[in-house]
A and B are shown apart, each in its own frame.
Chain A
């Protein structure tokens, strides 16, 4: 059980790129310590939406949201809230592994801490490195080459390095945007095992286009859909994973999970 609650409440969220509405009226609750999967056909807005949970959409000029995202009752989009601080509490892992090429494995793990100008003693940093790499199931494989470049690892190892890097700053929530789509099946399995261990300490939200993965890994599943090109994406149904995949309430959900479209 996690030490404290890190629950996300989303209320009537709309996402705009300029004047184009990309995602419409999403409301959901994500319970602490759970794994929630977002599924849906491509272009339905699930990646766009997940990026609003740590305000990453703001790196695209002209992107904005209307609505609320509460982390333990605190609105991420409040007037005085610094997006940089938000991102330290809500971490993200991306589709393609992207360790910093000029840094060693060690420095990659510590990047979130050291690049903020924090000064920590060597012993403390060693501890953080080991803890994070163990947390990402990567320690035994790289403990002898911590000073080698991060880009020298295989794809699956690189992605686990990125996960280690993300958890080193001890976020409350971990967002994962299709983390396995660039990996081979064996690495994918390794990451899925990792997710089931990570959920003991973090709330996890994962976007995936692989329905089998969603059913393996998540407790709750949210199905997003889009009515047509140019229309905004919407949250169609959100429920326990087992129910979504065996007996969904909405016809569109049923059609998607049984492969009739998407």
Chain B
């Protein structure tokens, strides 16, 4: 009877040669050195350094792994480094954008900026301020007000229509109409924002005369963008409500519409509110539709139904592209960044509120 059916091998059948655990770190350090050397040759730029180091790392680790661990493991290590690199690259624009907004926006940001408008502010003021002869003036109050009014109007239009339509899709719709609505809501989510603006501009042009520009037209354009978002998210929230709750209500002899309004809606309301808040956050930053409907102005306008109305995104756009003073654009750019900061703060605050609402107001499950 022979023993030892297991063939004897030099290294054993379960162990493999492996790169030491510190190999990636060492390779990283080496690659950094190589990258520095490469970028010195091209002229000392950070991107060249990073790219050089990255390429050096990937090449080195892959070859080393290929020699020591085998081809399959080498490919695995290469992919791992690619994936990490992808994530790192994605962080660059994010950090850069956030940093730019903060660094460039904070100087002019503040109470004075938020409470004054651009009325009677000219390039001359900017030039004098740049030379230190006069204080920096000009703010974005009219833009903040405009954004608030236009967005509020758009919400007023979109939420009832969107909510009722989603209730139809979930609670009532069974046939062709429901399928058509679902399909076209999908289509609507893809409308480019400029096209929505053109539609509102064209509509108001036909109804009230060519060249009509007011805040209400802007609100209509934003509604076209908002309604599909409200429908989709409300629909999802309503579908999550368990059917048993509906059945319990019907079994009590409650008519359908009351069951929907008094049982289903309250159960889904926190999710719906959160979805609406996110929809608001999305349209608050839309520029293109407002450029072609509400237009630009430097003065405060309280009335969304008449005259041009400034909004924060349009403010950023106009200050950046058409500085008040051609020779000294910096003050205008500073104002643009400050307005951008304001806009980002508003959007982030809305996102935060949406998450809080979803979490805090969900139907309570605790004792």
Contacts and interface: CB of A to CB of B under 8 A. Distances in A.
Q: Do A and B touch (CB < 8 Å)?
A: yes
Interface of A: 54, 56, 59, 61, 84-89, 91-92, 94, 96, 98, 100-102, 111-112, 115-117, 149, 151-152, 162, 165-166, 169
Contacts of A54: 251
B266 interface: yes
A92 B263 CA distance: 17
B248 to A, nearest CB: 5
Given A98-B245, A152-B364, A87 B251 contact: yes
Which 9 A-B residue pairings sit nearest by Cβ, starting from the closest? A88-B253, A101-B363, A112-B252, A92-B251, A87-B253, A98-B244, A102-B266, A152-B367, A98-B248
Given A94-B244, A102-B266, 14 more contacts: A87-B250, A87-B251, A87-B252, A91-B251, A94-B248, A94-B251, A100-B245, A101-B364, A102-B267, A115-B254, A115-B263, A149-B363, A149-B364, A151-B363
B133 to A, nearest CB: 63
A169 B253 contact: yes
A98 B364 contact: no
Q: By CB atoms of chain A within 10 A, which of B251, B252, B366 has the most?
A: B251
A166 B262 CA distance: 17
B254 A116 contact: yes
Nearest to B244: A98
Contacts of B51: none
Contacts of B366: 152
A101 B254 CA distance: 17
Given A61-B174, A117-B258, A111 B365 contact: no
A162 B252 CA distance: 10
Q: By CB atoms of chain A within 10 A, which of B248, B259, B266 has the most?
A: B248
Contact of B252 (A61, A91, A152): A91
A217 to B, nearest CB: 21
B253 A56 contact: no
A11 B221 CA distance: 60
B255 A94 contact: no
Contacts of B266: 102
B353 to A, nearest CB: 21
A152 B364 CA distance: 8
B239 interface: no
Contacts of B101: none
Nearest to B262: A115
A201 B283 CA distance: 59
B246 interface: yes
A205 B208 CA distance: 67
Mostly, the B contact residues are helix
B247 interface: yes
Contacts of A102: 263, 266-267, 363
Interface string B355-367: 0000000011111
A115 B260 CA distance: 11
Contacts of B251: 54, 56, 87, 91-92, 94, 166
B237 to A, nearest CB: 13
Contacts of B246: 59
Contact of B254 (A84, A89, A149, A162): A84
Contacts of B344: none
A59 to B, nearest CB: 6
Give the interface size class of chain B. Answer: 20 to 34
B244 A115 contact: no
A115 B249 contact: yes
A61 B171 CA distance: 12
Contact of B247 (A56, A117, A169): A56
Contacts of B174: 61
B209 interface: no
B7 interface: no
B20 interface: no
Contact of B250 (A56, A85, A89): A56
A84 B364 contact: no
B190 interface: no
Contact of B253 (A61, A85, A100): A85
Contacts of B248: 94, 98, 100, 162, 165
B132 interface: no
Given A56-B247, A94-B247, A98-B244, A169 B363 contact: no
Interface in B312-367: 363-367
Contacts of B262: 115
Nearest to A88: B253
Interface in B238-281: 242, 244-255, 258-259, 262-263, 266-267
A91 B252 CA distance: 6
B250 A88 contact: no
29 contacts: A54-B251, A56-B251, A59-B250, A84-B254, A84-B255, A86-B253, A87-B251, A88-B252, A89-B253, A91-B252, A92-B251, A98-B247, A100-B245, A100-B263, A100-B267, A101-B245, A101-B364, A102-B267, A111-B252, A115-B249, A115-B252, A116-B253, A116-B255, A117-B258, A149-B363, A149-B364, A152-B365, A166-B251, A169-B253
Interface in B173-189: 174
B244 to A, nearest CB: 4
A98 B242 contact: yes
B253 A84 contact: yes
Contacts of B367: 152
Contacts of B364: 101, 149, 151-152
